[in-house]
Structure 1
Amino acid sequence: MFSFLQLLTALSAALLVSAVPAPSEKCCDTSAAVMNLPSNQTALVSPTTAPLYVALGVGVQNYSCSSTTLKYTSIGAVASLFDISCIDKTPAFANIQTTAFKLWDSVPASVTASLIGSKVAAPNLLGYHYFVVGPTGALVPKWDFTSTGKNAGNSSAYVIGAKVGDIASPTTPATNIDWLALNNASGSLASKIFRIDTVNGQPPTSCVAGSANISVKYTAKYYLY
């Protein structure tokens, strides 16, 4: 009988589109990386400069049930972010978010997003994405690279974002969360953040008053400029 770790390894091997090289800190070059944005929209505009980071996000979108609308409302997200710039020109890159989600969706809650990302992308963990309370008391998104990789120990290696654009996912928007563009509100990590190529993350269309908060698994690509 397979142990759980053996099962996870078998699943990840079966889902990989092609072999992904294990990167070093030096091999991941973002100078030629380009976002693949839909041409028939104006809400998301790609910067003319190269991105600083190209990442795979593996995590959950969190929701609470509104007792007035009986619909789920967002209360933030938590994700681990992995450097995928080394595979930008490989066949695996285009669908890495789908590959990751298939594995992420197939494992129990005890398996962490960090383990999934390392199985399908690369062992190079860039940092974390989560939400914090902003100056007005509302939740705001944060990308935090202060404790990992080449930025470990750099207390300014984070960015808090303010949304400036969004579009519905070009594929199955009822299931996949929106694509976003955000500007820097504070921090020194990046001036712009984009979330694209989203897979899953949308909550059920309705809820029952008093329902507990839920977490919905998702994956996405993040470009930080």
Structure 2
Amino acid sequence: MLRLYILSLLACCLTVSALPTPFASWFRAARWHAPSSTSYLEFVKRVPQAVSGSCDLSQASIPTGKPESTMPLSMPISDRCLAPTPLPPPSSGLSLSHVAVGRGTQNYTCDLTNATAVPVAIGALASLYNVSCIAADMPALLAYIPGIALDMPIPSSPDSSSPVNEDLSGFHYFLNSTTPFFNLDTSLHSYGNGAFKKANQTTAPTTAMKGPNGQGDGAVAWLKLSAMSPGGQVFQEVYRVNTAGGNPPKTCTGMAASFEVPYSAEYWLYT
């Protein structure tokens, strides 16, 4: 019964009692009515404010990182759950266009002919859900959502034409093993798209969710991505922050030739 009152997989492994008022009471109620089979998409619709729609994104502040040693436990979770080394800020002249939570998998391969092989990353695949207004109006709540999403099933065959997916922003996948792509153009919305390259990265905080049910090999790094074609695509920079899960085991021992690791993260997209 205790599990019904505790968000067992919050972004920073804290119980619901750590949430700022009035979020704590709402989370208890939401979790009580959300069975273990509830998908992230169904859960996020319980947020007491539209996840899409019109809101002032100039009020949103991206959590690029801050030294953990300077953060007392009395600080809000949105300040404590930050990478130990900050990412560079968005480039001058860019504006925040969209914020989404991704839920999917990080994908890896193993060379089974090599006894000392380690997993090699070959990309990711995730569905993206619009949380722009939460980023603008309820940042303390947003910090918890990747951890919550990781504790819920990956939506099966998301279909942007279905009304249930009205908050589906689009999809994140890789064009090759090193080129992430964000496609936020669906039959319901046309936000933009673009291919990217890694510009910077920093390790996730030690308090980040390791994996589903608190079990796993850790959270993938926070990233800053820059556009492959700065003049030929809508989005110019993308940040992956507040990651949960996604890291592979340190070796390939006992692993398949290819495998997936569940993860979730916030994606902040700039134009």
- Does 1:100 pair with 2:100? no
CA RMSD of aligned residues (A): 3.3
Q: 1:180 aligns to what?
A: 223
- The letter for the 1-side match of 2:182 is W
Distance 1:52 1:214 in 2: 33
Distance 1:202 1:143 in 2: 21
Select the residue among 39, 46, 49 that pairs with 1:21.
49
Q: Number of aligned pairs?
A: 201
1:8-157 matches, cutoff 5 A: 8-9=37-38, 19-23=47-51, 26-40=53-67, 41=85, 43-47=87-91, 49-66=94-111, 67-68=113-114, 69-88=116-135, 89-90=137-138, 91-104=140-153, 111-112=155-156, 114=158, 123-133=166-176, 138-151=177-190, 157=192
- The letter for the 2-side match of 1:215 is E
CA contact (8 A) 1:33 1:50 kept: no
Distance 2:86 2:35 in 1: 46
TM-score (norm: length of structure 2): 0.63
- The letter for the 2-side match of 1:194 is Y
Unaligned runs of 5+ in 1: 116-121
SS in 1 for 2:37: helix
Identity %: 28
- The letter for the 2-side match of 1:147 is T
Unaligned runs of 5+ in 2: 1-33, 68-84, 160-164, 209-216
Change (3 A) 1:95 1:123: farther
Q: 2:238 aligns to what?
A: 193
Per the TM alignment, residue 204 of structure 1 is displaced from its structure 2 partner at its CA by: 1.2
Per the TM alignment, residue 92 of structure 1 is displaced from its structure 2 partner at its CA by: 2.4
More strand by proportion, 1 or 2? 1
Superimposed CA distance per residue, residues 9-51 of structure 1 (whole angstroms, 9 cap, x where no aligned partner): 4x879x77x7332355x42432211101223435432445441
Per the TM alignment, residue 211 of structure 1 is displaced from its structure 2 partner at its CA by: 2.6
Distance 1:179 1:113 in 2: 27
SS in 2 for 1:78: strand
Superimposed CA distance per residue, residues 151-196 of structure 1 (whole angstroms, 9 cap, x where no aligned partner): 18xxxx3211110100010125750000000110035121101000
Change (3 A) 1:129 1:206: same
